[in-house]
């Protein structure tokens, strides 16, 4: 592990029904991710992409192995510590956007900053900057229901970035988007990756995402079958 | 922002929330109305006890209330003097009483014979206003008696009829006197009307051979607030006598007042408990419908105490929103009824009077009862929120997000 390493995964396995008919959703995976990566986890349905993403994000516990994020073994954290760790270190983008429908776009982004205890002035500035960065500066007070799928996902990206996380985990972020919205979203994420060195890890089936990725990890039956660096290096990161 | 989220969440299912708010409002209104009716009845009972029965304070020989015999008497002039000197006293009536028998050719009935000063009795409890047949005492006529309507009905007596009173004098000798009924009275307490008859004190004292003496003084105060001071003052001025407030003289009235608090609280608790199930059901639905959202909140870093607070807050808001509406309804109805009264005589007939209550009730909702209802509803909301909030806490974000 070097200074640029953000995530270190050691011998991680996730076994469902260990006492009856064991199913290895993730099987003895070793990976490490460095700052500024733009990585796609690919593979057929049931290959373990989402499970691995959930384990990296601390949403699910591995049956075996360790996940070390910035030197912290998150598998040893207590549930409350883990929630706080996620709040401070990990940004999430979900397939179904998962915005809070009763809050405006601005409030959705601001909410995570409130959870972090950021001051009002800083919150306002950060939200404004992020909403501008995703091209929704004029939709701040609009509720999610009045936004298109692509716009909602851009708000979700803003929310994920708001807490200044170590990395962002995006589970099938373009799955519900039309090609234009998907391209637009990928442009934004690539830009943030390039300009701010933000680490993105996607799970995806989408060829458009895979095309833009700098590293593609292929999973099958819970195992890493290939891990390729593609394309040109991103700012501050590795390929 | 938890407040904002909780408040806005209420209106995600407007109809459902409005139904709960309406049921809480109706519950609060019905609770407040029943409580105010209870207090109205209690106030009426106290008013009757003070204005028509026992007055604020009574003075007796210490042994009088053991057997109500005429033998336990005292000089009246010293009492008169004490009453005059004590501030806060509006009127007083000195009485001579004895247990006896009222008889005519058709039958007899046990009674308490009250020898009263007609003018003092009117000043103390407006006794002339109770006459429903015949007339009050005529100063020019002798041997007049007032009997209660219930006794008159029972013995088929009418004004002008002659009766004989038999009683024991202080020496335990049997005495008797013939009286003519001048009037029939009806107070708000039918059992007392059956038991008490009134004659002029001067004539009764002659028959008892105890001139200038009596065995009861009833004291009406200018206001209830004078009670402690006057009670203390009279106790100091009349050391050999027993000076008691209406609460001691009429313990059943005091019991009614004391039980009002408990019984009204029980009614409120029953009402809000019934509401609690509706609230739990609604909040449980609200939580389960938002499983994915709750999963997302936990995933992005919302701690369990915050999540718990959000559900509790939402439940409290949903419940408490009904309170102002319920109290508004209660206030409107009470305002109207406090002017017009609620005539229970139409429903209950004479039953109210048989239990010493007036037929017309003026509802009264004391401020502390409003506070008690609000606190009860708040606690109910708090308790009702626990199960839905716990349900939210037990969700695992990884599973909840998939829903």
Q: Is B132 in the same domain as B234?
A: yes
Give B212's contacts (C-beta < 8 A, 6+ positions apart): B75, B76, B77, B205
Among B296, B302, B304, beta carbon nearest to A98: B296
ipTM: 0.87
Report the domain count for chain B.
Answer: 2
What does the pLDDT read at residue A239? 35
Cβ atoms < 10 Å from Cβ of B7? 15
d(CA A19, CA B9): 42
**Is A116 exposed, middle or buried, given 0-12, 13-18 or 19+ CB atoms closer than 10 A?**
middle
Residue B56 maps to a domain: no
Residue B245 maps to a domain: no
Q: Is B270 in the same domain as B353?
A: yes
Q: Is B26 in the same domain as B69?
A: no
Residue B54 maps to a domain: no
Among B9, B300, B303, beta carbon nearest to A80: B303
A117 vs B338, residue with greater confidence: A117
Cβ atoms < 10 Å from Cβ of B350? 11
Residue B69 maps to a domain: yes
Q: Is B235 in the same domain as B268?
A: no
Question: A-B interface: how many C-beta pairs under 8 angstroms?
Answer: 65
pLDDT tens string A131-163 = 988 888 899 999 999 998 889 988 998 898 888
- The Cβ-side half-sphere exposure at B178, using a 13 Å CA radius, reads 5
pLDDT band at A12 (very low <50, low <70, confident <90, very high): very high
Q: Smallest CA–CA separation between A54 and chain B, in Å? A: 7
Interface of B with A in 188-227 (CB under 8 A): none
What does the pLDDT read at residue A233? 46
Q: Please judge whether A98 and B292 are an interchain contact, meaning their C-beta atoms are less than 8 angstroms apart.
A: yes
Q: Is B194 in the same domain as B291?
A: no
Among B292, B302, B397, beta carbon nearest to A115: B302
Average pLDDT, chain A: 87
Using a CB-CB cut-off of 8 Å, the residues of chain A touching B300 are: 86-87, 92, 112, 115, 159, 163
Among A59, A107, A110, beta carbon nearest to B299: A59
What does the pLDDT read at residue A135? 85
Residue B55 maps to a domain: no
Give B235's contacts (C-beta < 8 A, 6+ positions apart): B243
Q: Please judge whether B398 and A98 are an interchain contact, meaning their C-beta atoms are less than 8 angstroms apart.
A: no
Q: Please judge whether A60 and B12 are an interchain contact, meaning their C-beta atoms are less than 8 angstroms apart.
A: no
**Distances, alpha carbon B26 to alpha carbons A226, B20, B261, in Å:** 67, 10, 21
Q: Is B185 in the same domain as B278?
A: no
Residue B355 maps to a domain: yes
Domain stop point among B240, B267, B292? B240
Q: Is B29 in the same domain as B118?
A: no
Using a CB-CB cut-off of 8 Å, the residues of chain A touching B6 are: none
Q: Please judge whether B301 and A84 are an interchain contact, meaning their C-beta atoms are less than 8 angstroms apart.
A: yes
Whose tokens are 């209330």? That residue is B65
* pTM recorded for the entire structure: 0.75
Three-state DSSP string of chain B:
CHHHHHHHHHHHHHHHHHHHHHHHHHHHHHHHHHHHHHHHHHHHHHHHHHHHHHCCEEEECCCHHHHCCCCCCEEHHHHHHHHHHCCCEEEEEEEEEEEEEEEECCEEEEEEEEEECHHHHHHHHCHHHHEEEECCCCCCCCCEEEEEHHHHHHHCCCCCCEEEEEEECCCCCEEEEEEEEEEEECCCCHHHHHHEEEEEHHHHHHHHCCCCEECEEEEEECCHHHHHHHHHHHHHHCCCCEEEEHHHHCHHHHHHHHHHHHHHHHHHHHHHHHHHHHHHHHHHHHHHHCHHHHHHHHHHCCCHHHHHHHHHHHHHHHHHCHHHHHHHHHHHHHHHHHHHCEECHHHHCCHHHHCCCCCEECCCCCHHHHHHHHHHHHHHHHHHHHHHHHHHHCCCHHHHCCC
Residue B338 maps to a domain: yes
By CA distance, what is A109's nearest residue in B?
B300
Q: What is the C-alpha end-to-end distance of chain B, expressed in Å?
A: 25
Q: Smallest CA–CA separation between B392 and chain A, in Å? A: 15
Q: Which residues pair with A13 in a beta bridge?
A: A64
Q: Is B39 in the same domain as B89?
A: no
Domain stop point among B240, B266, B295? B240
Instruction: Give the domains, in start order, of chain A with CATH numbers.
Output: 37-47+78-229 (3.40.50.300)
Among A83, A96, A100, beta carbon nearest to B301: A83
By CA distance, what is A83's nearest residue in B?
B301
Using a CB-CB cut-off of 8 Å, the residues of chain A touching B10 are: none
What does the pLDDT read at residue B353? 66
By CA distance, what is A168's nearest residue in B?
B300
Q: Is B100 in the same domain as B193?
A: yes
Q: What is the mean pLDDT of each run of 10 residues along chain B (403 residues)?
A: 86 90 92 88 85 89 85 86 90 92 91 93 86 93 94 93 93 92 90 92 92 91 92 91 90 81 85 90 92 91 91 93 92 88 74 70 86 91 94 90 78
**Distances, alpha carbon B36 to alpha carbons B10, B237, B377, in Å:** 31, 40, 17
By CA distance, what is B7's nearest residue in A?
A102
Between A48-57, A93-102, B40-49, B338-347, the lowest mean confidence (pLDDT) is in B338-347
Q: Please judge whether B398 and A60 are an interchain contact, meaning their C-beta atoms are less than 8 angstroms apart.
A: yes
Closest CA to B276 of B339, B214, B319, B225: B319
Using a CB-CB cut-off of 8 Å, the residues of chain A touching B293 are: 98, 100-101
What does the pLDDT read at residue A235? 44
What does the pLDDT read at residue B357? 73
Using a CB-CB cut-off of 8 Å, the residues of chain B touching A83 are: 298, 301-304
B299 touches chain A (CB under 8 A): yes
pLDDT band at A18 (very low <50, low <70, confident <90, very high): confident
A80 touches chain B (CB under 8 A): yes
Domain stop point among B181, B206, B240? B240
Q: Is B37 in the same domain as B146?
A: no
Q: Smallest CA–CA separation between A14 and chain B, in Å? A: 14
Q: Please judge whether B8 and A103 are an interchain contact, meaning their C-beta atoms are less than 8 angstroms apart.
A: yes
Q: Is B41 in the same domain as B150?
A: no
- Which residues constitute the domain of residue B296? 2-49+254-400
Residue B249 maps to a domain: no
Q: Is B173 in the same domain as B285?
A: no
């Amino acid at each position: 592990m070097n200074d640029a390493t953000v995530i270190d995964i050691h011998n991680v396995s996730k076994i469902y029904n260990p006492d009856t008919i064991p199913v290895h959703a993730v099987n003895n995976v070793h990976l490490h991710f460095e700052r500024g990566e733009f990585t796609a986890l690919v593979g057929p349905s049931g290959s373990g992409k989402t499970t691995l993403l959930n384990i990296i994000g601390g949403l699910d516990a591995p049956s075996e192995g360790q996940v070390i994020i910035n030197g912290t073994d998150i598998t040893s954290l207590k549930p409350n510590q883990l929630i706080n760790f996620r709040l401070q270190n990990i940004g999430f983008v979900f397939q179904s956007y998962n915005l809070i429908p009763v809050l405006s776009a601005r409030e959705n982004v601001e909410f995570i900053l409130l959870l972090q205890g950021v001051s009002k002035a800083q919150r306002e500035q950060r939200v404004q900057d992020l909403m501008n960065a995703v091209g929704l500066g004029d939709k701040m007070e609009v509720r999610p229901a009045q936004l298109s799928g692509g716009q909602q996902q851009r708000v979700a990206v803003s929310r994920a970035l708001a807490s200044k996380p170590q990395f962002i985990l995006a589970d099938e972020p373009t799955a519900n988007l039309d090609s234009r919205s998907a391209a637009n979203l990928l442009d934004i994420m690539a830009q943030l990756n390039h300009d701010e060195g933000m680490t993105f890890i996607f799970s995806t089936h989408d060829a458009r995402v895979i095309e833009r990725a700098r590293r593609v990890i292929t999973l099958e039956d819970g195992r890493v079958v290939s891990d390729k660096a593609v394309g040109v290096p991103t700012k501050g990161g590795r390929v | 922002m938890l407040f904002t989220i909780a408040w806005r969440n209420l209106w995600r299912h407007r109809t459902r929330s409005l139904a709960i708010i309406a049921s809480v409002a109706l519950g609060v209104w019905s609770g407040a109305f029943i409580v105010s009716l209870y207090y109205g009845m209690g106030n009426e009972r106290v008013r009757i006890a003070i204005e028509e029965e026992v007055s604020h304070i009574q003075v007796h020989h210490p042994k009088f209330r053991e057997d109500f015999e005429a033998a336990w008497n005292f000089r009246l002039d010293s009492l008169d003097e004490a009453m005059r000197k004590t501030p806060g006293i509006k009127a007083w009536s000195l009485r001579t009483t004895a247990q006896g028998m009222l008889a005519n050719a058709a039958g007899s009935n046990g009674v308490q014979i009250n020898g009263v000063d007609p003018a003092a009795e009117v000043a103390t409890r407006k006794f002339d206003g109770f006459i429903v047949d015949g007339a009050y005492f005529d100063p020019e006529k002798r041997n007049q008696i007032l009997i209660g309507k219930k006794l008159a009905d029972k013995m088929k007596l009418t004004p002008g009829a002659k009766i004989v009173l038999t009683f024991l004098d202080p020496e335990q000798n049997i005495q008797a006197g013939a009286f003519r009924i001048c009037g029939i009275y009806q107070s708000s307490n039918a059992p007392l009307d059956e038991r008490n008859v009134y004659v002029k004190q001067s004539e009764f004292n002659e028959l008892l051979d105890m001139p200038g003496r009596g065995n009861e003084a009833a004291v009406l105060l200018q206001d209830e607030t004078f009670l402690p001071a006057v009670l203390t003052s009279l106790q100091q001025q009349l050391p050999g006598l027993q000076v008691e407030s209406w609460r001691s003289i009429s313990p059943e009235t005091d019991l009614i007042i004391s039980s009002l608090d408990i019984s009204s609280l029980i009614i409120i608790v029953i009402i809000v408990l019934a509401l609690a199930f509706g609230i739990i059901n609604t909040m449980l639905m609200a939580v389960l419908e938002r499983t994915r959202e709750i999963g997302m909140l936990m995933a992005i870093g919302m701690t369990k105490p915050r999540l718990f607070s959000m559900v509790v807050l939402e439940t409290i808001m949903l419940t408490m929103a009904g309170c102002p509406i319920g109290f508004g309804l209660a206030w409107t109805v009470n305002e109207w009824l406090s002017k017009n009264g609620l005539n229970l005589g139409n429903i209950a007939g004479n039953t109210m009077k048989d239990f010493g209550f007036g037929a017309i009730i003026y509802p009264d909702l004391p401020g502390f009862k409003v506070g008690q209802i609000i606190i009860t509803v708040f606690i109910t909301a708090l308790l009702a929120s626990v199960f839905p909030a716990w349900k939210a806490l037990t969700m695992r974000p990884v599973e909840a997000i998939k829903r």
